[in-house]
Amino acid sequence: MKKLTSYVAAGLLSVSGHAAIAQQSQVFSNEDAAADSVEATEDAVRDDFKRSRDNHRFGFDRKLGWYGSVSATANASAGNTETADVGIGARFGHFDGTNGHDVTFSYALSDDEDTRTANSGLLGYDYSRVLNERWYGYGKLRAQYDEFGAFEEDYFAGVGIGYRVIDSGSSRWRVQGGPGWRMTEASDGNREYEGAALISSKFYHRISDTAFLTNDTDILYSDADTLISNDLGVNVSISGPLALRASLRTDHHTDPTPGRKHTDHRLGMSLVYTFN
C-alpha cells in the first residue's frame, strides 16, 4: 500500500502588542470552548488554537492589547485507501485590563473513500469582566454545526460568574457557571428552544519548563439533553515557538438524536506554531 501523508500547521498569529494567546482576562480565558466549547464535539484543530499557551490564560500575568491565532491541519492518503482530512481555526480578541473580548471560529471536513465522514463548524464570542482578584463575570454566544453529531445544530447564549480556586504558579484551576438559553436541532429537523445552565472547570498544570497539561470539563444542561465534555491534553515544546500537542476529548450526550451514539471520543496529535 502506498500512502502519502501531509500535516500542515500554521498557528497563532499575534495581531499586535504582547497579548497572550487564548486568554481574556487576568483570571481566565473565556471559551466558547469554550474550546467552552461549551465546545461540544470539537476536533483536534480546535484544541490547538484555543490552548496553545494555557499558562497565560490561567494567570494574572496577562498583558494588554490585541491577540490572535490562525491554525490549520491537513492529511491525506492514497492507494488502497483514499482519505482526506482538513481543519482550520482562528481566534482574535482584545483585553484592556478589565474587559476582554474573544471571537473564535473553526471548521473540520473529512472524507473516506469519497464518503463524507465529518463536517462540522463552530463560531463563538465571549465577553469577560474582571471583578477582583478571584471573581469575574462573563457572557457567551456559541453556534455549532455538526452533520454527524448528536445534534446537527446547537446554539447557546448565557451569562455567569467565575471563581479562581487555585493559582500556585505551577497549577491553576478555575470554575464558572450560569444560566442561558439553548436551541438544538436534530437531524430529523426537530427543534427545541429552552432554558439551560452551563458549569465549567478549567485546570492547568506545568509539568516542566517545556511541557504543561490541561483538563477542561463542561456540563451543559437543558431538558432536551445534557452534554458532558472532557478535554485532556499535553503540550510539549519542540523548539522555540514549535510545540507538539496530544489530546483526548470525550463528549457524552444523555439524549442524542435517535440513531446517534451517546458518546464520542477523539484522540488527536497536533503540531502547533505560536508567537505572541
For residue 210, the 8-state DSSP code is T
Angstrom distance (rounded) from CA 274 to CA 159: 30
Please name which of 239, 235, 228, 267 lies closest in space to residue 56, comparing C-alpha atoms.
235
Q: What is the structure's pLDDT at 235?
A: 84
Burial string for 153-172 (b: 16+ CB within 10 Å, else e) reads: bbbbebebebebeebeeeeb
Please name which of 94, 138, 146 lies closest in space to residue 119, comparing C-alpha atoms.
146
Please name which of 60, 8, 57 lies closest in space to residue 36, comparing C-alpha atoms.
57
Beta pairing, strands 211-221 & 65-77: unpaired
60 three-state secondary structure: coil
**Pair 76, 5: CB distance under 8 Å:** yes
Give the helix/strand (H/E) hosting 196: strand 191-208
pLDDT, tens digit only, all 276 positions of the chain: 333 333 333 333 333 333 333 333 333 333 343 333 333 333 443 344 344 444 344 344 456 888 776 676 767 776 656 788 877 777 788 888 899 898 988 888 888 888 888 888 889 998 999 999 889 999 999 898 988 888 889 999 999 999 989 888 789 898 999 999 999 998 888 899 999 999 999 899 999 988 999 999 999 999 989 999 898 989 888 876 677 777 788 889 898 888 888 888 877 667 666 655
Q: For the purposes of burial, counting CB atoms within 10 Å of the CB of 137, is it exposed (0-12), middle (13-18) or buried (19 or more)?
A: middle
Phi, psi of 47 (to 5 degrees): -60, -40
**Pair 197, 221: CB distance under 8 Å:** yes
Q: What is the structure's pLDDT at 53?
A: 43
Give the helix/strand (H/E) hosting 140: strand 135-146
Please name which of 19, 28, 21 lies closest in space to residue 137, comparing C-alpha atoms.
28
As a whole number of angstroms, the longest Cα–Cα distance in the chain is 60
Q: Could you tell me the three cell numbers for 128?
A: 469577560
Angstrom distance (rounded) from CA 107 to CA 82: 21
